[in-house]
Structure 1
Amino acid sequence: MKYKHLIWDWNGTLLDDTWLCIESINKILLKRGMPIVVKKDYRETFSFPVKQYYETLGFDFVKESFEKISSEFIQYYRDNFHRVNLHIDTELILNNVLGSGRQQSILSASKEESLISNINFFNLENYFKKIVGIKNNLADGKIDAALLLLDSIHMKGEDILVIGDTIHDSDVAEKIGADCILIDHGYVSRERLNATKRSVFPNVLGVWNYINSF
Structure 2
Amino acid sequence: MAENALDRITGIAHIVWDWNGTLLDDNHATLAAINKVCAEFGRPPVGLEYWRSIFRRPLLSCYEELLGRRFADHEWDHLNEAYDRQYSAMLPSCGLAEGVPDVLHEWSTAGGTQSLLSMAAHQHLVPLVSERGLDGHFTRVDGRRFDNGQDSKTEHLLAHLAEQEVDPDTVVLIGDIDDDAYAAREAGAHAILVSTGMMSEERLRATGHPVAPTPAAAVAALTC
TM-score range, shorter chain: over 0.9
Per the alignment, residue 142 of structure 1 pairs with 153
CA RMSD of aligned residues (A): 1.9
Aligned to 1:159: 170
Structure 2: segments with no counterpart, 5+ residues? 1-9
Pick from 78, 86, 90: which aligns with 2:88? 78
Q: Deviation digits for residues 154-210 of structure 1, max 9, x if unmatched?
A: 111111011001000001101110011111011101100010111101111212210
Runs of 5+ consecutive residues of structure 1 not aligned to the other structure: none
Aligned partner letter, 2:133: N
Structure 2 counterpart of 1:87: 97
For CA contacts below 8 A with separation 6 or more, give which structure has more relative contact order: 2
Which of 34, 42, 57 aligns to 1:48? It is 57
Superposition map of 1:23-42 within 5 A: 23-42=32-51
Identical counterparts, % of pairs? 27
What TM-score, normalized by structure 1, do the two folds share? 0.93
DSSP 3-state at the match of 1:146: helix
Distance 1:128 1:120 in 2: 11
CA apart distance, 1:145: 1.3
Question: In structure 1, what residue type is equivalent to 2:97?
Answer: H
1:67-97 superposed Cα distances (whole Å, 9 cap, x missing partner)? 2211221121112210111111010101111
Distance 2:147 2:87 in 1: 12
Q: Which position in structure 2 is the counterpart of 1:179?
A: 190
**Contact 1:164–1:183 (CA under 8 A) maintained in structure 2:** yes
TM-score (ref. length: structure 2): 0.89
8 A contact 2:152–2:183 mirrored in 1: no
Q: Supply the distance in 2 between the matched residues of 1:28 and 1:80 (Cα, whole angstroms).
A: 14
Distance 1:78 1:210, change over 3 A: same
